[in-house]
Structure formats: C-alpha cells, structure tokens
Amino acid sequence: MAHLILEPRMRVAARTATVVCAATVSLAVSQPIAPVAQAVPSVGEIVAAAEKYLADVDSDERAIFAEERSQQTENRYNSRQEQRLLRSNVLMFRDGSDPVWIRDVLEVNGTKVADPPDRLLLLANASTASAQTLSQIPPYTPLQIVTESARQQYGGGFRAVNQPGAALNYLRVGRPGDLPFRADGWKTVDGAKVVLLTLKDAPGGQAVPFAVGGVQGRFWIEPASGRVLQTELEFIMAAVYRTKITVKYGVDKTLNTVVPIMMNDEYENRIELVTGRAEYRNFRKVTIDPGAFRIGR
C-alpha cells in the first residue's frame, strides 16, 4: 500500500484547513437562524376586522355606568401651576350612530360639589321608569349635569371633549370611505401584538365635530380579532387649542365587554398647557332610554 508523505509546509496547511473548516461548521451550527418577519396584513383587512369587532360590541344596546378618577394639571407659562383631583360618575352609550358621554363631577380635591352623588344613575334609571317612580326623583337634566360638571374642570366647556370612544367612529360602519389609513408595522401594547394604523388629515366629521382642520389619528389593533387596544387623536380645537386625547381599552372581567380603562388628554395654547389622566373602574350596565339624554332637544 502506498503511503502519502506530506512535506512540512503541506502538513501545516492541512492542519490549518482542518481548523478553519471546523470553526466554520461550528459557527454554522451555533448561529441562530433569523426569524422570518411576519407580514403585516393589509389596511383593508385590519379595518374590516375592527369594524366587525366594534359591531359586535355595539350590539349590546345597554349603557355603561362607571366611576372616573382623574388628575388635571394647569401649567401657565408664567410658571404658575395648579392641580385638581376629581371623582366623577360617567355614563356612556350610543344613540343610533352617535356616541354619548355624560360626566357628573362629584368631588374636587376631596370637596363634594354634586348632591346627591348618585344623581346620574338616578337619571339613567328614570329614563325607563314609570310615571309614579318619576314623581319621586328630583328633576335633574343631562344639560344641567354636563354644564355644572364642565365648570369643575380646567378650561370649562372646551375640555368637555375629553371623552373616550370618539376615535372609534373612524373604524365603525358609516365612516368616510376614503380615509387615508396607513399601516406602520407591528407594535406591542400590554403584551399583545398589534398593528399601528395611522390617519393623517382626516375630516373631523362625526368623530370630532369640534375639530378645526384635519385630524391626526393612531389606532393600535389586533389584526386577527379586530380588537382595538389603544387610540390617539390630535387636532386643533377652537382655532387655538392643540388637543391630544389618548385612550387605552381593556375587557372588564365582570361585564365581559370592552371598556375604556385609561385616558390621557392635553390642551395647549400660547399661554397654558392643561393635562389630565383619568382611570375608570366599577363598571356596570344599565338599560336607558337614549332619547332622554339628547341635550338641547
């Protein structure tokens, strides 16, 4: 049998080649394979899923009654700052295609400002009560409650736009058909994987009737379920206030329905910045007559 005899230089080269080959194999085995990026569904698919999801939510015609705890801060550019802590009751429902939100401020910095504190719930129950029951309930009106409560907030009436739910009208049936949505990729909200849809220079319309000019919107949506986890609207109001409202949504375990759980809002003009943070709790469903809450009719 013939023997292969390598010269010294050849033996060194052979050993080097063996080491390089082994290192290459080792790298190939140990280096993780990059995951394939999940494709982002089309804007049309996401909006259609959200539309169906909201239609299911809206199929329950009962109103939702809840407690709102909020902190509001007024920063004037002369360095003066004030703060208010408010406790309120809120009633939210839909009157046809119109979202309705009524807030009754009960306390400001621990001082009671509404009496009795359950008058909004009394009004809700009265809307479907018998004539005999109505005679036993003081004649509170939605306009009275809304007007008195607006006075308790920094900015008064202009701040009455801090109402969760308005942004969802951009995703419901009946929205303008040519809204310029754009998908901005995958994001994560509270551990859930969502797609961020952005909306630029949309008309205020039914969703934001008090907006001057175009509305900028952002919507964090689970594509498969259509569930909306967060919304954000930014617009100019009354020609001078830059307004931004961000709302996070969750599922209340008791009601097994989607509800707003937190809202951040801010308003800015040339002399002041007003900010707020609200949280919601103690949700319950009540049967009402929506017509009884049509303010000004």
Residue 71, Cβ neighbours under 10 Å: how many?
A: 13
> What is residue 90's predicted lDDT score, i.e. its pLDDT?
95
> What is residue 185's predicted lDDT score, i.e. its pLDDT?
94
State the sign of the Cα–Cα–Cα–Cα dihedral 120, 58, 233, 228.
positive
> What is residue 177's predicted lDDT score, i.e. its pLDDT?
78
Helix, coil or strand: residue 255:
coil
> What is residue 176's predicted lDDT score, i.e. its pLDDT?
80
The CATH classification of domain 43-293, taken from the options 2.50.20, 3.30.420, 1.10.3470, 2.60.40 = 2.50.20
Which secondary structure element, helix H or strand E, spans residue 133, and what is its range? helix 131-134
> What is residue 17's predicted lDDT score, i.e. its pLDDT?
45
Q: How far is 166 from 158, CA to CA, in rounded Å?
A: 15
In 3-state terms the chain splits into helix, strand, coil percentages (rounded to 5) of 25, 40, 35
Q: Are 262 and 40 in contact (CB under 8 A)?
A: no
- Which residues, including other chains, have CB under 8 Å from residue 228's CB and lie 6 or more apart? 50, 53, 54, 168, 171, 219, 220, 221, 249, 258
Q: Are 219 and 53 in contact (CB under 8 A)?
A: no
> What is residue 34's predicted lDDT score, i.e. its pLDDT?
53
Q: How far is CA 25 from CA 14, 16, 22, 30, 31, in A?
A: 17, 14, 5, 9, 10
* Predicted confidence (pLDDT) per residue in 79-88, tens digit: 789 999 999 9
Q: What tokens were used for 271?
A: 């002399």
Q: Taking the model in full, what pTM does it have?
A: 0.82
Q: Which residues pair with 274 in a beta bridge?
A: 74, 267
Structural domain boundaries in the chain: 43-293
> What is residue 165's predicted lDDT score, i.e. its pLDDT?
87
Q: How far is CA 189 from CA 18, 131, 138, 218, in A?
A: 50, 48, 44, 13
Mean pLDDT in each 10-residue stretch from start to end of the chain (297 residues)? 43 45 44 68 95 92 94 88 95 85 94 89 80 59 88 77 87 87 94 95 84 92 96 88 93 90 93 93 92 72
